Amino acid sequence: MIEHWNLNIPVFAHEHKIYAMDLIGFGKSQKPNVRYSLELFASQIEAFLYLKKLDNIIIVGHSMGAASGIFFAHHKPDKVKALILANPSGLFGDTMEGMTRVFFGLVGSPLIGEVLFSAFANPMGVSQSLMPTYYNQSKVDGKLINQFALPLQDKGALWSYLSPSKRPLDFRLDHLTKPCNYKGPAFLVWGAEDTALPPHKIIPEFQQLLPQAGAYIIPRAAHCIHHDAHEEFNSRLKKILNLVEETA
């Protein structure tokens, strides 16, 4: 969601040409009843680059956006100058076990999934969902909660937001060849306190996919690292961008 980068984009906008986009089905984008997947998001990235006449780009993505960037770079490696991936999803190792798997199985059931969506598609539910993704939980304020809650009221939000739970394989990267086709610069930036995707378990998985990827762990930050610890994240991002330019 573009608004979630409000502490990052303005810092870099005066030095870099930045294009930001909401993935289809999320944020302020339209939410049609289609089969959502990393493949669909990669196609959206490709179409966006074509329309904007862009090439040789640096992709900065978070979570599912980062996974979409990897999927795109695998299939169109000549279009990507560098990948900067903040707590990417798509590879989960053995982190989803026991009751977590049961929960996602229930969400994937149409009736139960719709009931759970109704329960969480409101400010209280959003707040409860966001809290575990932040180490600095004071940042989960009314403004942030409303930014995430409003898109859940859009027509079609049920289809898009439940898709990762109903068809989780469509949002995974396990099937990509290891190493993947993209051989250019890649960087993993991770919040040390990410309990959903703990770095000590997940980073090695991504380095099988992208063995050239350097990894940077930021303390006192959880899953939403770019917003949770924005100053530290921006500092690391600036160093990475400088490194990319120096080695270009």
User: How far is residue 199 CA from its own chain's centroid?
Assistant: 15
Task: Give the global pTM.
Answer: 0.92
Residues 6+ apart with CB under 8 A from 219: 192, 193
Q: What domains, with CATH codes, occur in the chain?
A: 2-247 (3.40.50.1820)
Determine which helix (DSSP H) or strand (DSSP E) holds 65, and give its type and residue range: helix 64-75
Cα separation, 191 vs 217, in Å, equals: 6
Determine which helix (DSSP H) or strand (DSSP E) holds 80, and give its type and residue range: strand 80-86
The predicted-structure confidence for 15-44, as pLDDT tens digits, reads as follows 999 999 999 999 999 999 999 999 999 999
The predicted-structure confidence for 82-97, as pLDDT tens digits, reads as follows 999 999 999 876 655 4
Question: How many percent of the chain have pLDDT more than 70?
Answer: 90
The predicted-structure confidence for 202-231, as pLDDT tens digits, reads as follows 999 999 999 999 999 999 999 999 999 999
Cα separation, 108 vs 110, in Å, equals: 6
Residue count (the chain):
248
Check if the beta carbon of residue 71 is closer than 8 Å to that of residue 39: yes
Cα separation, 240 vs 7, in Å, equals: 18
Q: How far apart are the first and last CA of the chain?
A: 29
**Angle at alpha carbon of residue 83, lines to 82 and 85, rounded to 5°:** 155
Determine which helix (DSSP H) or strand (DSSP E) holds 82, and give its type and residue range: strand 80-86
Per-residue model confidence (pLDDT) at position 95: 54
More confident position, 166 or 150? 150
Q: Could you tell me the pLDDT band of residue 108, with boundaries at 50, 70 and 90?
A: very low
